[in-house]
Amino acid sequence: MNDAKVLLDYGSGGRASHRLIGELLLRHFRSPELARLNDAAVLDLRGPVAVSTDSFTVDPIFFPGGDIGSLAVHGTVNDVAMLGARPLYLTCALILEEGLPMADLERIVASLGQAADAAGVAVVTGDTKVMPRGQADKIFINTTGIGQIMVATPPSGDRARPGDAILVSGSMGDHGLTILSQREGLAFDAPVESDSACLSHLILKLLEALPDIHVLRDPTRGGLATTLNEIAGQSRAGCLIEESSLPVKQAVKAGCSFLGLDPLYLANEGKFICILPEAQADAALSILRADPLGKDAARIGTVTAENPGKVVMRTPLGGHRMLSMLEGEQLPRIC
């Protein structure tokens, strides 16, 4: 495209929309189904299917460790994988603000295309709307992911059972702290970086060895504390967490302490919670730690019959503290 900025015409459905598709989107989303240019895609799917949708509105749109394009792939692909599914297809709907620099749009679209390739998903259909200046902020991306479920009984938030072990695949709070520090223009001694990553290959490796995993869930908005509360509520069981075993990077601890934030309520975009029978916990940890994305995996607690619907954290001194869901909004536009 020769224009320096996104024009209102790009959303008209007319000639400018077709140029945007032909000259930019099809170049970065190399998918035969998309190239057929129908308003819908035909997919060959057999058997039970997992579907997830998310709109991404993160601010800033570029940040250490990623951008809104790669995040829009990782966030949705991970949600599909958490159901024990292999992500296969992605839809991509862009809402652009008139005047967005074309260079930014191209960088985001290229990043989205690369992340989709790396995740093994094809962008099969899409949509572009352009909003007059001031009626949207730069770019919002919706992706819907579709995958084929690979296990007989999909993991689900209501399947945590007393006695189950609670693991996390890595350190908590990296994405949330990164976005916040970028927005506030803060620089820390030790730089922090978003953990945004595609988790599906690691999830599938885990499920292949241990098909009876009860719950898989990524602690995104609201962080670990909120996500564990969701699981406790859905499963009508308690979660008992050991504070000393929670993996949090030193730089994230320091940044949180400076800003008065709790890393347990900060969003993660490349980590997951895994809840499974106690006897399989060690095997799961070995598989996780053998992968770069799971190298800091840890067992952080146990599902209990006591305190159903609640999350309790044991402090290093032996005290107990109730972890409630996130109250209020710690940080808008985190993802």
- Beta carbon nearer to a copy of itself, 282 or 329: 329
Question: How far is CA 135 from its chain centroid?
Answer: 26
Instruction: Kindly state the smallest distance separating residue 191's Cβ from a copy of itself, in Å.
Output: 26
- Beta carbon nearer to a copy of itself, 24 or 285: 24
CA distances from 5 to 112, 133, 335 (A): 19, 12, 24
Residues forming beta bridges with residue 91, ordered by sequence position: 125, 144
C-alpha 53/C-alpha 153 separation (Å) is 21
- Beta carbon nearer to a copy of itself, 125 or 171: 125
Instruction: Kindly state the smallest distance separating residue 290's Cβ from a copy of itself, in Å.
Output: 26
- Beta carbon nearer to a copy of itself, 240 or 334: 334
Please, what is the angle between helix 200-209 and helix 281-289, to 10°?
140
Instruction: Kindly state the smallest distance separating residue 306's Cβ from a copy of itself, in Å.
Output: 22
Instruction: Kindly state the smallest distance separating residue 140's Cβ from a copy of itself, in Å.
Output: 6
- Beta carbon nearer to a copy of itself, 24 or 231: 231
Q: Dump the DSSP string for 228-288.
A: HHHHHHHHT-EEEEEGGG----HHHHHHHHHHT--GGGS--SS--EEEE-GGGHHHHHHHH
Instruction: Kindly state the smallest distance separating residue 108's Cβ from a copy of itself, in Å.
Output: 16
Element (H, E) at 20: helix 15-20
